[in-house]
Amino acid sequence: MNPPHQVRISVLDTVPITRGSNARVALHDSVALAQLVDDLGYYRYWVPEHHGMPGVASAAPAVVAERVASVTRRIRVGAGGVMLPNHAPIVIAEQFGTLEAFHPGRIDLGLGRALGGPRDIADRVRSEHDRTATPLEDQVRELLALFDAGGRAAAVPAVGNRPEIWMLGSSDHTARIAGNLGLPFAAAHHLKPTKTLEAVRTYLRTFQPSSMSPAPRTTISVAAIVADNDEHAQWLAGSLRMKIARRRQGQPIQLPSPETAEAQGYTNNPTTGAELTGVFVGGAATVLPQLQALVHATGADELMVKTDLYTPSDRRRSYELLMNNQTYPLTAVKPSPATP
């Protein structure tokens, strides 16, 4: 049996724009959050690539990562992730090679395959023909080669400045690519919680050791809302319930205040369609055992926590409670690939 290992805790920040705010405020709030979690001892800080979403300011992860890395001291910083089909691999290699040159040993590059937004917006980022002309695994191989010194060094800043590269996904397809290429794998539990175990098992079963990752490594992204007690956490979560319900109704909104959500019935008696499937909500004493159960089931090396709350102070408090109220460290044993 594999020995138990301590699980790292990291941050996934979509840079949420709340109702009544704007992208400028959201971006500055996220930079302040990054400085806080750096001091708290979180391991990494990732921002994703989203386009055309009125409630998300994280559209340019390389730019945000540079700003965050410049004002923090030790935390790893990167993209979680860049949607590789949206870009020519050489452009991503140049961007993240440059970041690694400025902040050696602290930059991560997570790679995904989603559109990152509505199809009509994605088509303006890059045409569907260009996105799909080359299989994703071949796109990743091309990107990896650009960081190597051999051959024609077209992505000049990338050579000798390779960040830590991860594959992101919620399906067997991306997990298999990560395994085949010997890359660490980040499972998007916050998007498709019912697919996490299957994706992790596929990754472990297909993993081939590489110079980038001699052994398999997994991180699980989770959505969590932590407050001083369960009741207050559920009240704060009303904002997210209302936002999710409206999105399912085809009426997307920016994250509303808990007061607005409560007035419309999304707190104590949630409206049908507003269930927070896969979101961990409660005080630290409630949430931590639930997270422990997840890492026990997956053998994850790391949890990447996504917390969307209306006020920056509540969001900061959630991350403080999660890190500072661990009466025991989260631990896991990496399962065998054949584990049922």
pLDDT digits (tens, 9 = 90+) for 37-86: 999 999 999 999 999 999 999 999 999 999 999 999 999 999 999 999 99
pLDDT of residue 340 exceeding 50: no
Q: What are φ and ψ of residue 281, in 5° steps? A: -130, 130
Q: How many CA atoms lie within 13 A of 309 on its CB side?
A: 23
Taking the C-alpha atoms of residue 126 and residue 134, their distance in angstroms, rounded to an integer, is 13
pLDDT of residue 208 exceeding 50: yes
Report the range of poorest mean pLDDT among 1-10, 69-78, 212-221, 226-235.
1-10
Environment class of 152 (CB within 10 Å of its CB; exposed 0-12, middle 13-18, buried 19+): exposed
Number of Cβ within 10 Å of residue 231's Cβ equals 13
Environment class of 159 (CB within 10 Å of its CB; exposed 0-12, middle 13-18, buried 19+): middle
pLDDT of residue 269 exceeding 70: no
Taking the C-alpha atoms of residue 340 and residue 330, their distance in angstroms, rounded to an integer, is 22
Taking the C-alpha atoms of residue 117 and residue 210, their distance in angstroms, rounded to an integer, is 32
Q: Of residues 337 and 255, which shows the higher confidence score?
A: 255
pLDDT of residue 268 exceeding 70: no
pLDDT of residue 168 exceeding 90: yes
Q: Which of 1.20.120.80, 3.90.1150.10, 3.40.50.920, 3.20.20.30 is the CATH number of 4-221+286-333? A: 3.20.20.30
pLDDT of residue 299 exceeding 80: yes
pLDDT digits (tens, 9 = 90+) for 15-43: 999 999 999 999 999 999 999 999 999 99
**Averaged confidence pLDDT in the chain:** 91
pLDDT of residue 248 exceeding 70: yes
Percent of the chain surpassing pLDDT 90? 79
